[in-house]
Structure 1
Amino acid sequence: MRVLVVQNYQHTGLGQVGHALDEAGAMVDLRQAYLGEALPADASDHEALVVLGGDQNALADDDYPYLPALARLIKRFGDSNKAVLGICLGSQLVARGYGGHNIIGRPTEFGWHEVTCRVEAVSDPVLSSVPQQFPIFHWHSDTFSLPDGAVHLASSAMTANQAFRIGRAVYGIQFHFEADTRLVQEWTHVFHDQIATNHAQWLDDFEAHAGRHGTAADAAGLELARAWVKLIA
């Protein structure tokens, strides 16, 4: 299978999603859209689409003029009954592509925090793979309203819309389930100054946070990744 992966920011790798794709023998076609690499016009050459996170917001068209085209491409994949996964900024672009309202500039949700699955998740092919409550890594301030027809799947104490599905296999997931402890630790080095400015105490306590939440978060993230990959036709 051939999977299109759109990267929107530096050092935002596939993490556990990449592991699950490797297990399935997928070929990844990575496009660094934020560096000007072109996006395909349609979904014809790929079986699935992954849209990763980024520091920009989903309406930052002036600085990232490819964003409207990416939102349209997301919907083209979904309309073709192909699997789509939007993570963090990617989830906000899924919402945009399907007519949801992007909400910019809320307080930041950062670190490992609990996500609670809604009753709709029990029958969902992806969210049913994890416990009803689980810790997972977050790093976002923006959010969105659910598009018409979306199935609301999960929330956190700070963010109502943490996960949703449209149709068979289009997923918007706000939390960073792809970021296992190893990737989070990498981010603490790469983005150290940014984190230190806003979350200095979290950095000081990183080992304690990782020890408390890392194992369960890593397990949940990998199960979610594997479950989504199974939906690729």
Structure 2
Amino acid sequence: MRVAIVENTKVTHHGQVGVALHEAAARIGLYKPWVDGQLPDPADYDALVVFGGEQHARADDSHPYLPELARRMRAFSGADRAVLGICLGSQLLARGFGAENRIGTAPEFGWCSVELTPEGTADPVLGCLPERFISFQWHSDTFTLPEGALHLARSAGATQQAFRLGRATYATQFHFEAHRGVVADWARGFPAVMEGMSPGWLDRHPQEAARVGVEADRNGLMLARAFVARI
């Protein structure tokens, strides 16, 4: 199994997705286009995973590779390669399929409740989760649903939480890859940004991690394993 991973920022944790890929003995091609503009070719891989970043999905001036990454995600999907976009990755996937990116309209932060739609409950990947589940959120933007996509999940803060196109092209706005260790590292690395998103959250973090972190970790690993099985 050959999987291309695209990182969009200096600090990128693969988290539960990395665990599931390691379990499957996947061979990884790692790309950092914010450094050199290089992107994977669908002919070389069985799947593509695109992680998040601090930029928004239309930040072409500061990150000129973004339009091509959105096109490349669609090309992987068109070649029947499994595709996963998380947070910014989901927004870029929506862009690649002609949807509208809505910048700064849907802020969510912290461990939040997400609800599956009926299509999500029946989905071969998201259907592994409870109808209501906890996952970590950290975003300000959202998007409209691409034409032909199945709407799989929603939350109180952002209606578009997950969708699927075709056999195995998935987008999740929520950070299911972010287990408690990832969130703790983000808290150490970006305390001011987190406090800006949710004042007082750093003080609440230990209690929140103890209250819902185990459940969120379990949900994230189940979802990661289910996606990897589709590859």
Same fold (TM over 0.5): yes
Aligned to 2:33: 33
Paired residues for 1:147-162 under 5 Å: 147-162=146-161
Overall identity of the aligned pairs, in %: 51
Between the aligned partners of 2:92 and 2:196, the Cα distance in structure 1 is 27
- The 3-state SS of whatever aligns with 1:205 is helix
Distance 2:106 2:84 in 1: 24
- How far the C-alpha of 1:107 sits from its partner, in A, is 4.5
The residue that corresponds to 2:129 in the other structure is 130
Q: Distance in 1 between matches of 2:145 and 2:163?
A: 8
Structure 1 Cα separation of the partners of residues 138 and 16 of structure 2: 17
Deviation of residue 114 (structure 1)? 0.2
The alpha carbon displacement at 1:10 in A equals 1.8
Whether 1:209 aligns to 2:208 is yes
Name the stretch that deviates more: 117-126 or 47-56: 117-126
Q: TM-score, normalised by structure 1?
A: 0.97
Name the residue aligned to 1:12. 12
Any idea what the Cα deviations from partners look like across 1:195-221, whole Å, max 9, x if unmatched? 233423111111111111101100000
Correspondence for 1:174:
173
What is the aligned partner in structure 2 of residue 48 from structure 1?
47
Number of matched pairs: 231
Which residue in 1 is equivalent to 2:85? 86
Query: What CA deviation, in whole Å up to 9, does each residue of 1:13-40 have, x standing for no partner?
Result: 2110000000001011111111124113
SS of equivalent to 2:198? helix
| Runs of 5+ unmatched residues, structure 2 | none
What letter is aligned with 2:121?
V
What runs of 5+ residues in structure 1 fail to find an aligned partner? Answer: none
What's the secondary structure of 2:42's corresponding residue? coil
Distance 2:101 2:223 in 1: 24
Q: 1:226 to 1:103 in 2, by over 3 A?
A: same
SS where residue 44 of structure 1 aligns? helix
Using the size of structure 2 for normalisation, the TM-score is: 0.98
Distance 2:92 2:85 in 1: 7
Query: Does the CA contact (< 8 Å) of 2:77 and 2:83 recur in 1?
Result: yes
Distance 1:71 1:198 in 2: 27
Q: Output the CA distance in 2 between the equivalents of 1:76 and 1:68.
A: 12
SS in structure 1 at match of 2:199: helix
